[in-house]
Amino acid sequence: MPEQPQTTLSRRQVLGGMAVGAAALGAASGCVPPGAVARSGPKDLPALPPLEIIALNRMAFGPRPGDLEAFRALPGRNSREKFVAYVEQQLEPARIDDKECEARLASLKTLGKSLEQLWREYYRQVPEGEKRYETVYRPTDETKFATLIRAVYSKRQLQEVLADFWHNHFNVSPDRDERIAPTFAHWDREVIRKHLLGNFRQMLGAVATHPAMLYYLDNATSSRAGPNENWSRELFELHTLGAENYLGVKRQRDVPGFAQGQPVGYVDDDVYEATRAFTGWRVNDNTDEPGMSDSGTFHYHAPDHDRFQKTVLGRYLPPDQAPTKDGNDVLDALAEHPGTARHISRKLARRLIGDNPPQSVVDAAAKVFHEQRKAPDQLKQVVRTILLSEAFAQTWGDKIKRPFEVFVSMLRATNAQLNPNKAGEIMWLLWQLGQPLFGRIPPDGYPDYKEAWSGTSSLLERWRLAQGLAGDWWGEAIRSEVVKQTPTRKPKEVLEFWVRRALGRPLASQSQTAINAYMKEIRGGNLTEPLSDEDAKWFIPLTVAAVLSSPDFQWR
Amino acid sequence: MNRRNFMMGCSSAIAAMAGAQITSLTFATSDGGSDDVLVVVFLRGGWDAISVLPPLDGPDRAAYEAARPHLRIPIRGKNAALGLNNQFGLHQSLEPLLELYQGKQLAIVLAAGMPTSDTRSHFDAMRYMELGTPNQNSTTTGWITRHLQASPAKSGGLSLPAVTIDAATAASLLGSPEAVAMRNPREFLLVDDKDFRKSLTKLIGDLYKGDSWLHAAGRRTLATIRLVEQIKTEDYKPAVKYPEHEFGERLKTLASLLKQGLSMKVATVDLGGWDTHQWQGEHGEGYLAELLGQLSGGLAAFYKDMAAANLTRKLNIVVMSEFGRRLAENASRGTDHGHGSAMLVLGGNVNGGRLYGTWPGLGAEQLYDRADLRATTDYRAVIAEILKFRLKNERIGMVFPGYSLGQPMGIVRG
């Protein structure tokens, strides 16, 4: 390697960064000590970018090359009309040609398998031995790879954003139980993806009867002799009404609206009664008990069910109802409750707009959610309401990307190529960033507040990731080859090219000044002379990493 | 704030957050903080407390010898237990700690654990303990996180309030953005190369000069990175020689951090390998004896190192494990998951040289589920005493929702 001038960096130094090794994992999960980051006032927020930038960073995982151009080519006289066209396009994922992305998933064989196949091939018939664990977790691992690949390459970006949302909403940790792992590919396909623009009640039914959830929240072992309230508790508190509608320890009849069959919220007794309603909702996981098979599918086991009358959310469930009717009545009551409409709408708005979405948007979405509760495309209508709200187009910087978004958007901006056969080698990067895919153990899903993701370890790991991706530190697993992609060798044009690519808009002036000074320093003051091929090899990755490390790239 | 408020989780606990915010503001204006540091050493896998503190006499000894024909620790001869009193001995591998016990710096809590939980699952037991909510593993913050939220804020200066000496922060720090995980400060760097790092640090500093909350967070992160950068652990000259194993290295790293005068409040260090289902060693030697040797060697070196810098007066070390092990040995000359365990408390303000807690006995009727040592002292009682009397945290109910500290055992002076 030729000698570098004193003030510039050698390629060795750039690549040397990778030797730092696996280090501090972000503490960036869970709750936030209140006041850790001051609540922001509007004056502290960054300038509002063009609407297409907002759309591509919140309805998608950031722009890939060509995305901005495609957006601008949509029908419409102005960006608002084009935006509406984009929303409608993304709300119909099945109509978007996604063959290129699907082709990348071809080697992942477990994705399309039925529950019975997964149960048999990846759990029941797996021999003991060293490889057992690997096989049992293969469907989960392939789901992780597919999730990452789709987030990066799928043109159905809104679908991927929503899959991320619903996976967190109905969080399941495959590490909790060896029987969850083989079924996880099916959970992703038939529960999360199938319903994410569909009907909430149907989704809830799929959730409640899937082995992944039945094992994760222990309902599979809940019986009239030994009831387990875990599932029912989280069903009320996280999945439907939310803690905001929890009224604590109180008699059911003391809840306003109870007499009319419309209590305003729920109390502990509702959770206990619902627990009884779900007793006997199990998984076909043995042949020892009469009436059961060993297929991994849902099974209603009447002998375990508490057959007597229950009262849940002001509804009377008479004794000896038909199989599963008690539980389905509970799901009906929850899905129809206006509190559920508000809770889900607020969460969706928080994800799609910002940490503190205006009440008017939440109310409008909740109204649609409630009125369209029987519609097969209920959730599509709710999402549309949020996306087309004024707040969506007028809010920026009330949030930063979560680590998964950071990772995916960096891959998209750099047009990096992920090798599906080596995806396992880089999943630890998400762990390092503090948000491993499907790695949230508690049932609440990863937090969706900025404070959770702006802690010390979290930001440091983003900055390191930027260096690694731009510098191609991970061999065959991810190739970004930013040098090859850069059409110019003039330093200033290099920056302009990558700012356009990664941000689609100019840098904030503070960031522009900072990166200019940095380029000057590493280049020894000379920003006019074109880069030699040898200099381009280190200068371009460093410039790209600088852009990806900027606050501009973190906002959403 | 009641238990349910805590269980709500941050995804929806806006009200709870607002409540806690007021609390921390109140404390921020008050004085009376503590300089003390709490070091939590977690022994992963469930340590065999019965081998750590074998009974020496009476019906307990008889029950012990009958249940452990191969694994019992001898009373006399080679590898004999070190007598603490007439009733209990200390495993001879813990000999480095005996001096600290006799010097009244080490207290031992018998039969400590989770009396309120029946679980024998590592996963659940560790989760329950570290989240500080027995029987609840869905809590979204760890007990140390809540302690940091509840305890008096220090004003000004740079600090590393909570550190895990490992690749990832402990579950007890779940949800704490101020918690930092590092096996070695060398790893908590932007990049390895010194010159490159200098340029990059300047770039990040310039990029995050703005007014927004994100810019402020970036500057705070950079300040922490710079702070850690100044810590020259490779140049660290401990006052004693640390044993050459991972646990010793971690404690040495921790000592180097503590001696920098950073206002650290809590640190966590793990030592794993305690799940001794088979071949844990006979006649007081073998696998478990070696592991106990690592524990005691590391702790003793760390303690002496800190004493040489006159820092033990602010030091509180708690050694704990998710559960103990079954009284009866199994056919593989190991022991299965049990219930009650033991805790060690080490520090300059510990009322040491004593055994604390109620010994439940090893008779068949005295055992938990007729199989395990019973847990008679809640692990939260031990921690709560230290938090209250040494770290001056009055809000035990916030750290351990639904739990209140009863009559203190007097393990620490306060």
Task: Give the Cα separation of B190 and A462 in Å (integer).
Answer: 10
Instruction: Write out the two tokens for B175.
Output: 């949800």
Binning pLDDT at 50, 70 and 90, where does residue A432 land? confident
In angstroms, the CA A220 to CA A289 distance is 14
pLDDT score, position B260: 81
By the 8 A CB rule, do A469 and A406 touch? Answer: no
Q: List the structure tokens of B91.
A: 């495993």
Q: Is A234's pLDDT higher than 60?
A: yes
- Quote the minimal CA–CA distance from A154 to chain B in Å: 28
Among chain B residues, the shortest Cα distance to A8 is held by: B196
Average pLDDT over residues A202-220: 96
CB contact under 8 A, B218 and A459: yes
The confidence score (pLDDT) of residue A374 equals: 98
| Exposed/middle/buried for residue A423 (C-beta within 10 Å: 0-12, 13-18, 19+) | buried
Q: Residue A22 is nearest to which of B138, B139, B167, comparing CB atoms? A: B167
Give the pair of three-digit tokens for residue B107.
């207290």
Nearest CB partner across the interface for A24, out of B4, B173, B187:
B187
SS (H, E, C) A177-191: CCCCHHHHHHHHHHH
Beta carbons of A33 and B177 less than 8 Å apart: yes
Mean per-residue pLDDT of chain A: 91
pLDDT for res A26: 28
Find, in chain B, the residue whose alpha carbon is nearest to that of A401: B214
B4 touches chain A (CB under 8 A): yes
For the stretch A310-347, pLDDT in tens is 999 999 999 999 999 999 999 999 999 999 999 999 99
Q: Chain A neighbours among B 275-314 (CB < 8 Å)? A: none
Residue with tokens 């500093």: B205
- Can you tell me which residue has the tokens 């002998």? A303
In a domain, B123, yes or no: yes
Grade residue B124 by pLDDT with cuts at 50, 70 and 90.
confident
Residue A35 has pLDDT above 70, yes or no: no
Whether A551 sits inside 8 A of B218 (CB atoms) is yes
CA gyration radius for chain B? 22
pLDDT of residue B152: 64
Closest to A446 in 3D by CA, of A245, A234, A204, A170: A170
Give the DSSP letter string of B278-289: S---STT-SHHH
What is the predicted pLDDT for the residue at A441?
Answer: 80
Residue B280 structural domain: 23-187+242-399
pLDDT digits (tens, 9 = 90+) for B169-179: 899 998 887 88
Q: For residue A121, what is the DSSP state?
A: I
Q: Would you say the C-alpha torsion A59, A65, A71, A72 has a positive or negative sign?
A: positive
Kindly determine whether residue B209 and residue A514, on different chains, have CB atoms separated by under 8 Å: yes
CA angle B299/B303/B307 to nearest 5° reads 175
pLDDT score for A19: 31
Query: Are the beta carbons of B126 and B171 closer than 8 angstroms?
Result: yes
Are B20 and A40 in contact (CB < 8 Å)?
no
CA-CA distance, A83 to B292, in Å (whole number)?
A: 65
Residues of A in contact with B221 (CB under 8 A): 455-456, 459-460
- Least confident interval from A86-95, B253-262, B281-290, B343-352: B253-262
pLDDT digit string, tens, across residues B87-117: 999 999 999 999 999 999 999 999 999 999 9
Q: Integer distance in angstroms from the first to the last C-alpha of chain B? A: 26
B32, pLDDT greater than 70: no
Is residue B360 within 8 A of residue B98, CB to CB? The reply is: no
Which residues of chain B are within 8 Å of residue A553 when distances are taken between CB atoms?
none
Q: Is there a domain that residue B9 lies in?
A: no
User: Which stretch of B109-118, B230-239, B297-306 has the lowest confidence by average pLDDT?
Assistant: B230-239
Q: Nearest Cα to A435, choosing from A29, A5, A6, A19?
A: A29
The secondary structure element, H or E, covering residue B197 is: helix B194-207
Contact B180 A13 (CB under 8 A): no
Min CA distance, B194 vs chain A (Å)?
9
Option in B8, B191, B199 nearest A20 (CB): B191
Q: Which residue of A has its CA nearest to B197?
A: A17
Whether B190 and A457 lie within 8 Å, measured CB to CB:
no
CB contact under 8 A, A456 and B18: no
Q: What is the pLDDT of residues B338-349, one digit of tens each?
A: 999 999 999 999
Question: Cα separation of A231 and A211, whole Å?
Answer: 12
A441/B127 CB distance under 8 A: yes
Please answer whether residues A386 and A395 qualify as being in contact, where contact means their C-beta atoms are separated by less than 8 angstroms. no
Residue B1 contacts A where some CB pair is shorter than 8 Å? no
Q: Does residue B305 lie in a domain region? A: yes
Set of chain B residues whose Cβ sits within 8 Å of the Cβ of A43: 211
Q: How far apart (Å, rounded) are the C-alpha atoms in residues A279 and A305?
A: 5
pLDDT at A58: 98
Query: What is the distance between the alpha carbons of residues B170 and B272, in angstroms, rounded to a whole number?
Result: 13
* Beta-carbon separation of B217 and A25 below 8 A: no
Using DSSP, state whether A336 is helix, strand or coil: helix
| pLDDT tens per residue, range A166-195 | 999 999 999 888 999 999 999 999 999 999
A33 to B148: CB separation less than 8 angstroms, yes or no: yes
Q: Given a cut of 70, is residue B243 above it in pLDDT?
A: yes
B253 touches chain A (CB under 8 A): no
Both tokens assigned to A16: 């040397």
In chain B, residues with a C-beta closer than 8 Å to the C-beta of A21 are 187
Give the total number of structural domains in chain B. 1
Question: A248, B193: Cβ pair inside 8 Å?
Answer: no
Q: Residue holding tokens 């960031």?
A: A511
Q: Which two tokens stand for residue A431?
A: 């762990």
Mutate to test the interface with B, among A167, A456, A462, A473 (most CBs of B within 10 A): A456
Question: Contact at 8 Å (CB) between B386 and B37?
Answer: no
Residue B158 is predicted with a pLDDT of 52
Average of per-residue pLDDT across A425-451: 89
Element (H, E) at B164: strand B162-164
Closest CA to A312 of A327, A323, A322, A300: A327
Nearest by CB to B8, from A13, A237, A400: name it: A237
Q: Do A33 and B221 lie within an 8 Å CB cutoff?
A: no
Of B391, B384, B409, B345, nearest in space to B104 by CA:
B345
> pLDDT tens digits for A471-489?
999 989 999 999 999 999 9
Residue B8 reports pLDDT greater than 50: no
Residue-level pLDDT at B153? 58
Say what the pLDDT of residue B136 is. Answer: 84
Q: Let me know if residue B36 belongs to a domain.
A: yes
How many whole angstroms separate alpha carbon A203 and alpha carbon A49?
A: 35
Nearest to A32 among B127, B177, B189 (CB): B177
| CB atoms A549 and B9 under 8 Å | no
What is the C-alpha to C-alpha distance for residues A58 and A348, in angstroms, rounded to an integer? 11
CA A489 vs CA A45, A309, A506, A546, B199: distances in Å: 34, 77, 20, 17, 22
Contact A317, A329 (CB under 8 A): yes
CA A451, CA B340: separation in Å to the nearest integer? 38
Are A27 and B215 in contact (CB < 8 Å)? no
Distance (Å) from the C-alpha of residue A332 to the closest C-alpha of chain B?
Answer: 22
Give the whole-angstrom CA distance, residue B180 versus residue B160.
7
A25: confidence class by pLDDT, cuts 50, 70, 90: very low
Element (H, E) at A427: none
Q: Are A290 and A333 in contact (CB under 8 A)?
A: no
Residue predicted with more confidence, A42 or A388: A388
* Interface mutation target, options A453, A459, A499, A543, chain B, most CBs of B under 10 Å: A459
Q: Name the residue among B355, B334, B279, B284 with its Cα closest to residue B108.
A: B355
**Closest by Cβ to A551, choosing from B190, B210, B224:** B210
Residue B148 in contact with partner chain A when CB distance is under 8 A? yes
pLDDT at B184: 81
Residue B144 lies in a domain: yes
Which of B4, B11, B12, B190 is best to mutate for the A interface (most A CBs within 10 A)? B11
pTM above 0.90, yes or no: no
CB contacts < 8 A (A, B):
239
How far is Cα A109 from Cα A237, in angstroms, rounded to an integer?
36
Given this model, what pLDDT does residue A467 score?
96
ipTM of the complex: 0.89
- Could you tell me which residues are beta bridge partners of residue B179? B162
Residue B75, domain member (yes or no): yes
Give the pLDDT confidence score for residue A470 in this predicted structure. 97
Q: Which residues of A fall within a CB distance of 8 Å from B395? A: none
Q: Which of the listed ranges A421-435, B152-166, B304-318 does the model predict with the highest average pLDDT?
A: B304-318
Distance from CA of A403 to the nearest CA of B (A): 14
Give the DSSP H/E element, type plus range, for residue B321: strand B315-321
User: Of the spans A245-249, B167-171, B254-258, B354-358, which averages the highest pLDDT?
Assistant: B354-358
Higher model confidence: residue A188 or residue B24?
A188
B243 versus B17: the higher-pLDDT residue is B243
Contact A21 B214 (CB under 8 A): no
First to last CA, chain A: 41
Contact B11 A444 (CB under 8 A): yes
Residues of A in contact with B167 (CB under 8 A): 22-25
Asked if B118 has any chain A CB less than 8 Å from its own CB, the reply is: no
CATH code of the domain in which B307 resides: 3.40.720
Mean per-residue pLDDT, B187-193: 86
Residue B17: inside a domain: no
Q: Give residue B154's pLDDT band: very low, low, confident or very high (50, 70, 90).
A: low
- Mean pLDDT value of segment A114-123: 98
Tell me the backbone φ, ψ of residue A490, rounded to 5 degrees: -85, 125
